[in-house]
Amino acid sequence: MAYTRPRQEHVAETNLSRQAFETYLPLYKKLKKARPAAERPREGLNQQGAVTEASRLATYEPMFPRYLFFRPSHPKQSIAVVRSSRGVSHVVAFGARLACVAPDVMRAIRAFEEQRNGAGLEAISPFQPGTRVRLRDSALGGLEGLVHAVSAKRVFVLMELLGQQQMIKAEYDQVEHA
């Protein structure tokens, strides 16, 4: 296993592959953050101004940021060159012993990656842009609005408060379907 430089997982993977190492960079599907309405093209909106399925995009990010699985392609291949490969910070080791991942763990990671990346956008997040939701357990509990964007930790809800539209950030457990 290699520990990469920040946001250099793909660079390290490319360079190690060019050196004939077998590499594996597990990726997972994540909803892309919606752009502000002023920047969003009109074709991505429906009649009510809600985000449509066509305008929602998924991105793929490393499942384990800064980590890349690799192994020599043949038994006599030296891993000494890995330490100086572009994108690699260092090889993960515990003392003098290199970090190794059991084959059954690798199969489980691959299965999870395949299942997650094959899932539709609805399976990734329970709240999709354009969905009507209700806030709960907060000072604004009971008020309804439209989901504007979804991140890994928060839901951004567009609500009308005091006659103006406001963007509210809420945790997943503070929001329910209306």
Q: What whole-number distance in Å separates Cα of residue 84 and Cα of residue 89?
A: 8
Average pLDDT over residues 148-165: 84
| pLDDT tens string 8-19 | 999 999 999 999
What's the structural domain count of the chain?
A: 2
Which tens digit of pLDDT belongs to each residue from 86-135? 999 999 999 999 999 999 999 999 999 998 888 776 666 777 788 899 98
Chain CA centroid to CA 80, Å:
32
Supply the CATH number for residue 173's domain: 2.30.30.30
- The SS3 assignment for 49 reads coil
My answer on whether 113 and 143 are in the same domain is no
Q: What is the pTM of this model?
A: 0.65
51, part of any domain: no
Q: Show the domain range for 157.
A: 125-177
Instruction: Give the residue from 83, 75, 84, 67 showing the smallest Cα distance to 24.
Output: 67
One-letter amino acid for residue 104 of the chain: D
36: nearest Cα among 47, 51, 48, 52? 51
Do 74 and 111 have their domain in common? yes
Cα gap 147→127, rounded to integer Å: 7
Q: How far apart, in whole angstroms, are the C-alpha atoms of residue 138 and residue 178?
A: 16
90 and 157 part of one domain: no
Residues 92 and 169 in one domain: no
Confidence band of 48 (pLDDT split at 50, 70, 90): very low
Among residues 123, 139, 164, the one where a domain terminates is 123
End position of a domain, from candidates 80, 97, 123: 123
- Domain of 111, CATH number, reads 3.30.70.940
Question: Is residue 85 located within the same domain as residue 164?
Answer: no
